[in-house]
Amino acid sequence: MITAHARAVFGTNEPFKATTIQRRDLSAKDVLIEIKYCGICHSDLHHVRGEWREETFPLIPGHEIAGVVLEIGSEVTKYNVGDRVGVGCMVDSCRECKHCQNGEEQYCIKGNTMTYGAIDRFGERTHGGYSTHMVVTEDFVLRIPDSIALDVAAPLLCAGITTYSPLHHWGAGPGKKVAVVGLGGLGHMAVKIAHAMGAEVTVLSHSLAKKDDGLRLGADHFFATSDAETFKKLAGSLDLIVNTVSAKVDLNAFLSLLNVDGVLVNVGAPAEPLSVNAFTLILKRRSFAGSVIGGIRETQEMLDFCAQHNIGPDIEVIAADAIDGAYERVLKSDVRYRFVIDISTMATK
């Protein structure tokens, strides 16, 4: 067993505490990763705050993981010691169902194994990247391109792929008018990626406070959703809207901004139900859709796309002892635009 230092919560909404955990010994296809950086995703907050389900404690979040391979199992072929690698939201899946075979492990019929808070095929509880080391089967490890620094790479493993996948699936590109609702961790990556794909990008933020940032990140237009004029001005004009807001929003107001055949895809995951007025959909053949992260193959494609287009998240690197404070700022929509934990700051505690 490998002892890893970690930061855990021991109850709903409790502060993080230093702890140690055991990682399994390497089996033939496993890779031992020394974690260097881990991003803070709003999903981590949903879990820690008990907003999605009843959690089992201790809970060690983190699914935006970047590090270096420290050791490989006897049958590992894809990675060598010293390689720069990442791990996202999944660490395993059945590998046999049609979705796994199709490279969309996130839609595994038997349910993929989430990086933390799940039970893996060995019957052990999974623990995430707020820790110094982790052991993962090589098929769920990503290669980080040389041109992307590890701290910048970390958030791509969730925020990057969660926005890349629907933008790619629904054809964001030249001639498409794409709007992003919410300029947080996911939202700011959606803006950068949609811009790099060649789409005309609009940000819909709750105020104009982040307008300069939004335009700098690649948006062509920026509007405040608190201003009723925004909904009049943009009515029926958009092809694709990606909603990244972590709280309940008025979906019908956003749906009304879509042109005929337009799609509103929800990646934001508030606990409360969202309601849709049928007429908002039927009168313009609009669609309301959802999307969860992306498959392993597509995640690698996204990393290579970001390297090719020289894009990555805007990050604020923090020490392990600053996680609670960072959570407070995420809750106030005061993240610019992703907190990333420097894991070297937890090794000695």
Q: Which residues bind ligand NAP (CB under 6 A)?
A: 41-43, 46, 158, 162, 182-187, 205-206, 210, 244-247, 249, 267-270, 291-293, 330, 333, 335
* Nearest by Cα to 261 from 242, 237, 287, 243: 287
Give min distance, CB of 208 to Zn ion, in A: 27
Q: For ligand NAP, give the closer residue by CB, 99 or 210.
A: 210
Give min distance, CB of 48 to Zn ion, in A: 13
The single residue among 2, 26, 68, 97 that binds Zn ion, judged by CB under 5 A, is: 97
CB count within 10 Å of CB 334 equals: 11
- For residue 108, state whether it binds Zn ion (rule: CB under 5 A): yes
* Nearest by Cα to 136 from 192, 78, 215: 78
The binder of 97, among ligand NAP, Zn ion, none, by C-beta within 5 to 8 A per type, is Zn ion
The binder of 93, among Zn ion, ligand NAP, none, by C-beta within 5 to 8 A per type, is Zn ion
Q: For ligand NAP, give the closer residue by CB, 162 or 230.
A: 162
Separation in Å, CA 95 to CA 86, 100, 132, 206: 20, 5, 28, 41
| DSSP count for the chain of H helices, then E strands | 11, 17
Q: For ligand NAP, give the closer residue by CB, 46 or 221.
A: 46
Give min distance, CB of 182 to Zn ion, in A: 14
Residues with Cβ within 8 Å of residue 135, at least 6 apart in sequence? 2, 23, 24, 25, 26, 30, 31, 32, 33
- For residue 114, state whether it binds Zn ion (rule: CB under 5 A): no
Q: For ligand NAP, give the closer residue by CB, 21 or 223.
A: 223
**For 51-112, where are the E strands, in sequence order?**
65-72, 84-87, 90-92
Q: Which helix (DSSP H) or strand (DSSP E) does residue 300 occupy?
A: helix 296-308
The binder of 185, among ligand NAP, Zn ion, none, by C-beta within 5 to 8 A per type, is ligand NAP
Q: What is the dihedral of CA 181, 187, 190, 196, to 10 degrees?
A: 100
- For residue 41, state whether it binds Zn ion (rule: CB under 5 A): yes
Sign of CA dihedral 105, 269, 301, 130: negative
Peptide bond into 58 cis (omega under 30): yes
Q: For ligand NAP, give the closer residue by CB, 182 or 295.
A: 182
The binder of 205, among ligand NAP, Zn ion, none, by C-beta within 5 to 8 A per type, is ligand NAP
Q: Which residues bind Zn ion (CB under 5 A)?
A: 41, 43, 93-94, 97, 100, 108, 158
